[in-house]
Amino acid sequence: MSPEDRMEVLTRQLCAGQSTESNWEHVQQAPPDPIIGVTDAWRADPDPRKLNLGVGAYRTEEGKPYVLKAVREAEQQILADPAMNKEYLPISGNPEFNRLARTLALGPGSSAIQQNRVATVQALSGTGALRVGAEFLSMHLPASIPRIVYLPNPTWGNHKSIFAKAGFQVREYRYFDAATRGLNFAGMVADVSAAPPGSVLLLHACAHNPTGVDPSPEQWSRLLEVARSGGLVPFFDMAYQGFASGDLDADAASVRLFLEAGLELVLAQSFAKNMGLYGERAGALSVVSKTKEVATRVESQLKLVVRPMYSNPPMHGAAIAARVMGDPKLNALWKEELRGMAERIKSMRQVLYDQLVARNVPGDWSFVLKQIGMFSFTGMTRHQCEQLVSKWHVHLTLDGRISMAGLSAATAPYLAEAIADVIQNA
C-alpha cells in the first residue's frame, strides 16, 4: 500500500472515530452554581409574583439594576478624553487605580502606605483578587508551613473552591450561631486559636456573606490578638466597603486595626458592590509586608502569578473606579449615593421585620435588624426554602440567605406572608 493510500485509510478511520464518540464523552454534567442558579430559575419562572432574593447585586425600589450617577459621569468623561486608547495595561494593572484602591482600604494616613510596604495589583474583581492571593501564598509561604486555610462556617461558597484550586487544605472555624442568628464568638476563638502557626485566616472585613453578622470592635481586637499570638496570616476579603454601613472608613476598621498592629496581611478588594461595577470586574489585591524591599519583591512575584493566568487586567472598570475615587466632585457624589444605597437596605430590614411581627410569625426576628449589609441569614431550613420557591415563587439560596437589596416596600408584605406560611405549615 502506498503512503498516499495509508494516509487515506487513516483519515477515514479518524473521521469515523470522531463521528461515533467524543473525546469528552466521559465528562459529567456539572451541578448549577447554587447562587447564580437562583437567578436562572427566577428567569425561567412564569409566575408574575416571582421574587428574586438570591441575586448579590443592588436593586432599586422598583427592582431594577442601578448604575450610579458618579459612574455614569466618570464613564462619559473617559469616553470624551481624546487621549484614551485601548492599549494593554501593565501586568499589575492601572497604577492610579492601585494607589487609590489601597488608600481607600488602608487609609491615607497608613504607615504601611507611607513607607511603601504595600504591593498592589489590579485583579478581576474580588474573586480574581482572592485567586491571585491564594496562588501567591501557596507558592511563597515558607516550605515548612503546611498549606492550610481557615474559612468561616458558613462563608461565600466560592471561597472553598478558590483556595482548594490553589492547593490549600480547607478547614473551617465556627462563625454563625443558629440559635441566636448571631456570632458564635467563643467557638470562633477556640477554632482559630487551635490553627497551626502559619495557617491562612480568611476574614470578611465587613458585612459577612452570607450571614450579615460581624464581630464587634472589641471582638475584632480579640481576634487580632489570637491571630498575632498564633502566627496566622490574615487574609481579608473586603467586598462591601461602604456598602455595609454607608461609611467607607467605618467599614474598613477591621483591616486597619490589624494593619496598625504591625501584622503582615493580604487584602482582596472588589468594586462590584460599592460602585455597582459588577460586570466590569474591577478589583485589587494588596499584600502588606514588613519592609519596602520585601514589598518590591512580592509585587514582582504577584506579576508572575498574573502573567500566565490572564496576562493583564481589563482597563475600563479600573479607569472608572480611579476617576470616581480621584475626582473630588465625583468622589463626593459617590459617597452620597453609597450612603443612600446602604440606607435603603437598612430600611428594607425594618419593613420586613415589621411585616413579620404584624403576622405573629413564630420566633424572634430581631436578628433581621441586627444583621448588616446586603444579606440576611434567616435560619430557615432547606425544606422551608424549597417551599418558598415551589409554592410562593420566592427564589433564594437553599441555606436560607436572602438578599435585602432584592426586596422593596411593595414586595415585603408578600415575602412576610410566604415566610409565615412555610414556618407554620412546611
Give the residue numbers annotated as catalytic, written as ranges: 156, 237, 273
Contact 282, 124 (CB under 8 A): no
Contact 235, 266 (CB under 8 A): yes
CA atoms within 13 A on the CB side of 28: 3
Bridge partner list, 286 = 120, 267
Bridge partner list, 170 = 149
For residue 310, how far is the Cα from the chain centroid?
20
Dist CA 405 CA 400 (whole Å): 15
Bridge partner list, 394 = 51
Binning the chain into helix, strand and coil, the percentages to the nearest 5 are 50, 15, 35
Sequence-distant (≥ 6) Cβ neighbours of residue 371 within 8 angstroms: 181, 211, 212, 213, 349, 377
Q: Which three cell numbers stand for residue 44?
A: 425561567
Identify the H or E element spanning 220: helix 217-230
- Determine if the peptide bond prior to 210 is cis (ω within 30°): yes
Bridge partner list, 385 = none
Contact 159, 133 (CB under 8 A): no
